[in-house]
């Protein structure tokens, strides 16, 4: 989706949304930049669990305002605690490889990353993380796994299930390659 168009006077009157993630990716990484626009400028109409039908709001927000809760730099693999809130949390994660890591990435395919999400109810979920997408921003909490989860969030406008609220998260490489360096999370 084109964010500028979705925020402007020519925004579509209707949006038919389906969430389909591939390759074990964290679902909110797929077109994650459009989600704040949809939350700000659309109202829930209906869902059949395959699609969510949204209608353009009467008042369109030109931007999304975020409350910065924290920005930190840590080693890749470290666990990052998230604030205790019932509001959706969006994150940007920037990976900064070491010099050795930059050389290896230049010569070979970048290493696969996993993002491990700890849930408020004690469960964990592991997904592929795509570093080039994570730096642009995505919804970190609640964990939205499918179209039905997305429909529930946009219809209720609140987090009602403890099983979807993410508390700690961790980025890791499945083969524990040490050259990934630092992670900046905001």
Model confidence band, residue 179 (pLDDT cutoffs 50, 70, 90): very low
In angstroms, the Cα distances linking 171 to 6, 29, 62, 96, 136 are 31, 14, 32, 13, 16
* Percentage, residues of the chain above pLDDT 90: 26
CB distance 150 to 71 below 8 Å: no
First to last CA, the chain: 23
Domain borders along the chain are: 3-185
Output the pTM of the full model: 0.82
What are the pLDDT digits (tens) for 146-161? Answer: 999 999 888 887 666 6
Token representation of residue 10: 């020519």
């Amino acid at each position: 989706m084109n964010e500028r168009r979705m925020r402007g006077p020519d925004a579509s009157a209707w949006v038919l949304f389906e969430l389909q993630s591939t390759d074990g990716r964290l679902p909110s990484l797929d077109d994650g930049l459009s989600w704040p626009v949809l939350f700000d400028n659309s109202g829930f109409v209906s869902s059949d669990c395959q699609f969510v039908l949204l209608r353009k709001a009467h008042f369109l927000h030109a931007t999304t305002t975020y409350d910065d809760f924290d920005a930190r730099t840590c080693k890749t693999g470290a666990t990052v605690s998230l604030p205790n809130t019932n509001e959706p949390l969006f994150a940007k994660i920037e990976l900064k490889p070491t010099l050795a890591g930059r050389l290896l990435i230049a010569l070979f395919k970048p290493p696969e990353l996993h993002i491990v999400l700890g849930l408020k109810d004690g469960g964990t979920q592991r997904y592929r993380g795509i570093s080039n997408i994570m730096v642009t921003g995505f919804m970190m909490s609640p964990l939205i796994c499918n179209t039905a989860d997305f429909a529930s969030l946009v219809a209720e406008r609140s987090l009602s299930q403890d099983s979807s609220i993410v508390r700690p998260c961790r980025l890791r490489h499945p083969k524990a390659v040490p050259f990934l360096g630092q992670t900046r999370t905001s």
